[in-house]
């Protein structure tokens, strides 16, 4: 099934690697305009060059923007408005997990983690709202985590923050329904991406391969499908929730965890 998104615009925060980059590729394949942001300009330039090699440069915008910095987010909105004239789909994806227990999480860590998980969504959703309101297919999708419903002791602060974030997004969905903007979340389990690559590269044991590392993670976690997910698998769920394919769905979630969820519903 081909979804035609020509003349529609998707904004993807954290679009310079992993799930966000895979989402950018999917939207471009559906003929949408795509704006991505991240903090590392070298990485953004590399990714832009890669995308421009396959898709029309006129449909691609890449901006340096820290989603926790309101001024930078406002500048990003202006750049997107200037280049594309509007926004139809906002993907709040930027972020990363924090490996820490209750004992090892400092007060500063708590503040950073809560700030990241809440304000990455609050700043961008508020800043893009005016443009989204003008769209006939306005939607927001947040990349969340299964940890919101199934906390892990070694990811304690992230789990708590993700649970709060899920509540925030649910509330936004009810409020923004009046403006005809749908708001949904993808609950990601373990999906291979740059953040996992960095953890792999930090291993002391340099004998272990990337394939073995990934497979060990899935086995240790007990993922029923027996492997980590790919960025494109998570991005496909994002794409579904962002586009009119899911036009009667808001305040909802899709689990992309390979069956890792133990709860019902």
* Residue nearer to ligand NDP on the CB measure, 91 or 176: 91
Q: Give the chain's end-to-end CA distance (angstroms, integer).
A: 28
* Residue nearer to ligand NDP on the CB measure, 145 or 253: 145
* Residue nearer to ligand NDP on the CB measure, 143 or 246: 143
Token output for 146 = 């299964």
* Residue nearer to ligand NDP on the CB measure, 69 or 180: 69
Give the nearest distance from C-beta 256 to ligand NDP in angstroms: 9
Q: How many CB atoms lie within 10 A of CB 231?
A: 20
* Residue nearer to ligand NDP on the CB measure, 94 or 183: 94
Give the nearest distance from C-beta 242 to ligand NDP in angstroms: 15
Query: HEC states along 9-20?
Result: EEEEECCCCHHH
DSSP 22-89: HHHHHHHHTT-EEEEEES-HHHHHHHHHHHHTTS-GGGEEEEE--TT-HHHHHHHHHHHHHHHS--SE
Give the nearest distance from C-beta 154 to ligand NDP in angstroms: 14
SS3 94: coil
Residue carrying the six token digits 């408005």:
81
Give the nearest distance from C-beta 6 to ligand NDP in angstroms: 25
Compute the distance between CA of residue 129 and CA of residue 90 in angstroms, rounded to an integer.
Answer: 9
Give the nearest distance from C-beta 149 to ligand NDP in angstroms: 12
Compute the distance between CA of residue 108 and CA of residue 67 in angstroms, rounded to an integer.
Answer: 19
Residues that bind ligand NDP (CB under 6 A): 13-14, 16-20, 37-40, 43, 65-68, 93-97, 143, 145, 188, 190-191, 193-195
* Residue nearer to ligand NDP on the CB measure, 44 or 181: 44
The H-assigned helical ranges of 193-251 are 194-201, 210-221, 231-242
User: Which among 13, 139, 134 has a CA at the least distance from the CA of 73?
Assistant: 13
Give the nearest distance from C-beta 142 to ligand NDP in angstroms: 8
Give the nearest distance from C-beta 122 to ligand NDP in angstroms: 13
* Residue nearer to ligand NDP on the CB measure, 170 or 180: 170
């Amino acid at each position: 099934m081909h979804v035609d998104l020509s003349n529609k615009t998707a904004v993807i925060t954290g679009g310079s690697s992993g799930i966000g980059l895979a989402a950018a590729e999917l939207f471009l394949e559906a003929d949408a305009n795509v704006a991505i942001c991240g903090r590392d300009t070298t990485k953004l330039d590399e990714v832009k060059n890669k995308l421009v090699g396959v898709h029309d440069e006129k449909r691609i915008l890449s901006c340096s923007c820290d989603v926790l910095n309101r001024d930078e987010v406002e500048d990003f909105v202006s750049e997107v408005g200037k280049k594309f004239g509007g926004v139809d789909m906002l993907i709040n994806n930027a972020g990363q997990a924090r490996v820490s227990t209750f004992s090892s999480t400092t007060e500063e860590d708590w503040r950073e983690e809560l700030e990241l998980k809440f304000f990455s969504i609050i700043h961008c959703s508020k800043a893009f709202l005016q443009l989204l309101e003008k769209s006939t297919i306005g939607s927001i999708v947040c990349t969340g985590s299964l940890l919101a419903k199934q906390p892990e002791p070694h990811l304690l602060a992230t789990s708590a923050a993700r649970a709060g974030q899920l509540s925030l997004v649910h509330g936004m969905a009810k409020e923004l329904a009046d403006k005809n903007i749908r708001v949904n979340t993808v609950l990601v389990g373990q999906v291979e991406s740059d953040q996992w690559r960095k953890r792999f590269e930090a291993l002391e044991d340099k004998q272990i391969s990337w394939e073995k590392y990934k497979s060990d993670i899935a086995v240790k976690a007990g993922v029923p499908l027996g492997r980590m997910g790919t960025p494109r698998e998570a991005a496909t769920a994002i794409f579904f929730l962002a586009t009119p394919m899911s036009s009667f769905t808001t305040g909802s979630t899709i689990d992309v965890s390979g069956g890792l969820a133990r709860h019902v519903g």
